[in-house]
Amino acid sequence: MNIVDRFLKYVSFCTTSDENTGMTPSTPGQMEFARYLAEELKSIGMTDVSLDSNGYIMATLESNQPSEVSSQVPVIGFIAHMDTSPDASGRNVKASIVKAEERDYIDPRYAGQDVIVTDTTTLLGADDKAGIAEIVTAMEYLIQHPEIKHGKVRIGFTPDEEIGCGADHFDVKKFGAEFAYTMDGGAVGELEYENFNAAACKIHVHGLNVHPGTAYHKMRNSMRIAYQIAVMLPRFQTPEHTQGYEGFYHLIGMNGTVEETTLSYIIRDHDRTQFEYRKRELEHLVRKINTEYGEGTAEIEIRDQYYNMREKIEPVMYIIDLAKEAMESVGLTPVVKPIRGGTDGARLSFEGLPCPNIFAGGENFHSRYEYLPIPSMEKAMEVILQIIQKA
């Protein structure tokens, strides 16, 4: 199966993750997709294919070199995630191939290229089914071309990356790679080894509902109090007002009644000191609300999700140099930049598996206007092949 057909098959699976289920994987579609992938990996000739009860897939491409050579070659891993973002629907994706100039939201630099798009009622799923398609197609190519000599390669596909849980049950020891790459970046040429420090936050506000005709000095409207918290945060420290290394507070959900309201935030900053300050600031605002309205009016829960992988990658920068060399060998100029987000690789790096991030080729992730230039996806697969051969 070619890489385009493979990707189009993958996006037919609805794998939207859901942070509220408390399960792994968080949604049944992810396990359905995982079962399909496990069978596909067996069918193309991968060995040691495993699928565990949490939806994690691992498989091996054995070295085809003499044992005395293989022992000197590092075991390399490639990782991608199966879930898609809850920010937009991933059900009944209607994908089609168009020329870039046929859609006004596609960057003009892709003019003339074939691009995979949706009908704009759903996201596409290039984040990160493009990464999976690139890895699987690269493995199939190497299996079909045994004249290309390579060492042992491990691949892994994870659930629930989009809700910060992709590495929760990833067995680094079982994976057994010296280092790995997540194929989870954006535009062609991107190479990333810095990411946000990240936390999720929920603020629960408790109100008191009284008939509005007799509410004077009695009613406590939790929605109005929650709004008060929201506007106390710095107005311009939000995603739409920040770039590069700048951090933010992002209100991603507000649900409430007069009696109860919940604010859901994500907190992001590349600098660890500033990251810790942002968490303390939210706690401070909750204390202010409780001073004004009474103890227990607002409660806060903060959960760290992942940290900046830079400190774990810098001691092994040769893996960045390897990726750069691979990109240059296929005619790309590496674009080294910080991730304004995170990947499974961030947490895995802290668990002993250095894991920078390479482009998968898609654009406008988490959006109904997500798209995937086909040449970018093909280049990503070529980069995988070059990394394996140059290791």
Which element (helix H / strand E) includes 253?
strand 248-256
Residues 6+ away with beta carbon under 8 Å from 241: 235, 248
Give, as one character, the DSSP assignment of residue 173: H
Selected catalytic residue, list 128, 161, 194, 269: 161
Place of tokens 């299996």: 143
Give, as one character, the DSSP assignment of residue 92: S
Closest CA to 139 of 234, 223, 64: 64
Selected catalytic residue, list 83, 140, 160, 162: 83
* 76, 180 contact by CB (below 8 A): yes
User: Alpha-carbon Rg of the chain, whole angstroms?
Assistant: 23
| Cα-based torsion angle of the residue sequence 2, 48, 79, 380 in order, rounded to the nearest 10 degrees | -30
> What gap in Å lies between CA 91 and CA 160, rounded to an integer?
16
* 162, 252 contact by CB (below 8 A): no
Active site residue 107: no
* 127, 369 contact by CB (below 8 A): no
* 289, 229 contact by CB (below 8 A): yes
Which element (helix H / strand E) includes 216?
none
* 350, 307 contact by CB (below 8 A): yes
Active site residue 269: no
> What gap in Å lies between CA 275 and CA 355, rounded to an integer?
22
Residues belonging to the active site = 83, 161
